[in-house]
Amino acid sequence: MAYYQSPRWSAEIADCSMPMTFDTYSNCSFGCMYCFSQYQRGIGGAKEHYLAKEVNPVNVDKIKKMFTNPDQYAGQFATYIKQRRVMQWGGLSDQFDGFERKYGKTLELLRFFKEIDYPLCFSTKATWFTEDERYMDLIRGQHNWNFKFSIITLDEAKAHIIERGVPTPLKRLDAIERIAHADAGGATLRLRPFIIGVSTPTYLDLIREAGNRGATALSTEFFCVEQRSQTLKEYMPKLSELCGFDLMALYRKYSVAQGYLRLNRKIKAPFIEKMKSLCDEIGMRFYVSDAHFKEMCHNGSCCGLPPTWNYSHGQFCEALQICKSKGVCYYSDIEKDINELHQYEWGKASGFNANSSEKRAQFYGMSMAAYMRWLWNNPQAGQSPYKMFEGVMQPMADEQGNLIKDANGNLIYQYIKERTL
């Protein structure tokens, strides 16, 4: 059997609190129209296998060796594992989908991870495992396992069309309630992607109901349009019909970029304000995975982990929270985790998309830690704190406009409140 290679480093490593992300299977049995991994994985030689729903699982024995003897078997992930940082489970596929019912590899690994008491954060749309005692017996009392359930609307008719093969929103709310009462590490409502026209009629009712069911946090992110995805292009007319307007036209009109379309702050602001206000009212922690409004996160883990959890603080979302709290942020505020976790070669980072050959040549031989420091000190780079958060974090400058650096030659960022809500 050919095995799927996982874990991998997240493409959002610069601002991700759980950059080591894991998938049990090479494909997902669900058929969500908005799925970003249809582009990320449905390309090149893998395209036909992906679209045909062919699947390979991870090598369970290999994963066990990685976590029991990381120095020998975990490679780039050794320090991350030895420091017992939270692993994100479910990045490009769903670990509890139909393939899991057939192969049971997630169950095998859950038994192992419970034995070693390893901290995990799951992203899922599945519900059946919360009614299966083989799984729930492992989950109960596991205080360092957090579960994020993705629900984008309470409209069951729309959800049935957009999220093919996925349990109804009501069943997912039932699953949230079962996990919330399992004395585990909590349940989070993952309102991602937030699609104007699909999510908007019911989103506040959805948040309130999730809170009633025991969800302690909300993590949201607006739908983005990857124009290079042929599969998404095929779905856009149906999505537009369900929204009641031309969705592609909206994104082309109100997005800053040209290829990967992300709505501007002004369009999203009213919805973000209402979500944050409701979460404050009902006592749910609020998080935004959009680069826009990330400053509104409860703490530096936009996926919704509580601040006491052992996630990576070596990333720009954490820097943004520091900057908001103190008014300024130094690279030294976040560099400890960066230097400890990312001393591997940027161009050889496992699963990380190194993009163009020009970029690979520019950063050839550089460590990932050095690359992140480069992003910090090059504010015009697309993933720098300045560009990523659209000026909410701004490099300090003197009266002549010269950028101010600390004793180690790193830029100092200040918080620009006027750029926020």
Answer whether residue 354 shows pLDDT above 70. no
d(CA 410, CA 35): 38
pLDDT digits (tens, 9 = 90+) for 244-298: 999 999 999 999 877 789 999 999 999 999 999 999 999 999 999 998 999 999 9
CA dist., res. 100 & res. 372, Å (int) = 36
pLDDT tens digits, 149-196: 999 999 999 999 999 999 999 999 999 999 999 999 999 999 999 999
Q: How far is Cα 179 from Cα 182, in angstroms, rounded to an integer?
A: 5
Residue 4 forms beta bridges with which residues?
A: 58
Q: 362: pLDDT confidence band, cut at 50, 70 and 90?
A: confident
Contact call for residues 180 and 186 (beta carbons, < 8 A): yes
Please state which CATH class domain 8-296 belongs to: alpha beta
Peptide bond into 70 cis (omega under 30): no
Q: Where in the chain is the domain with CATH 3.80.30.30?
A: 8-296
Region 119-127: what's the mean pLDDT?
Answer: 98
- Residue 26's alpha-carbon distances to 29, 230, 296, 413, in angstroms, are 10, 20, 34, 40
The answer to whether the CB of 80 falls within 8 A of the CB of 350 is: no
* Band (376; pLDDT cuts 50, 70, 90): very high
What 3-state DSSP class applies to 304? coil
What predicted TM-score, i.e. pTM, was given to this entire model? 0.95
Q: Using CA atoms, how far apart are residues 43 and 299, in angstroms rounded to an integer? A: 35
pLDDT of residue 195: 98
In whole angstroms, how large is the CA radius of gyration of the chain? Answer: 21
- The answer on pLDDT for 43 being more than 50 is no
Instruction: Of 240, 193, 234, 221, give the one whose Cα is nearest residue 287.
Output: 221
Count of Cβ atoms closer than 10 Å to residue 94 Cβ? 27
- Kind of pairing, strands 163-164 and 120-124? unpaired
pLDDT at site 353: 74
| DSSP result, 114-165 | HHHT--EEEEE---GGGG-HHHHHHHTT-TTEEEEEE---S-HHHHHHHEET
**What DSSP state is assigned to residue 382?**
T
Backbone region of residue 249 per phi and psi (left: phi > 0; alpha: psi in -120 to 50; beta: other values): alpha
204 contacts: CB under 8 Å, gap ≥ 6: 274, 275, 278
Euclidean distance between CA atoms 351 and 362, whole angstroms: 19
How far is residue 390 CA from its own chain's centroid? 19
Contact yes or no for 66/73 (Cβ under 8 A): yes
Say how far apart CA 175 and CA 156 lie, in whole Å. 16
Q: What average pLDDT does the segment 77-103 reach?
A: 97
Report the C-alpha gap between 270 and 402 in whole angstroms. Answer: 36
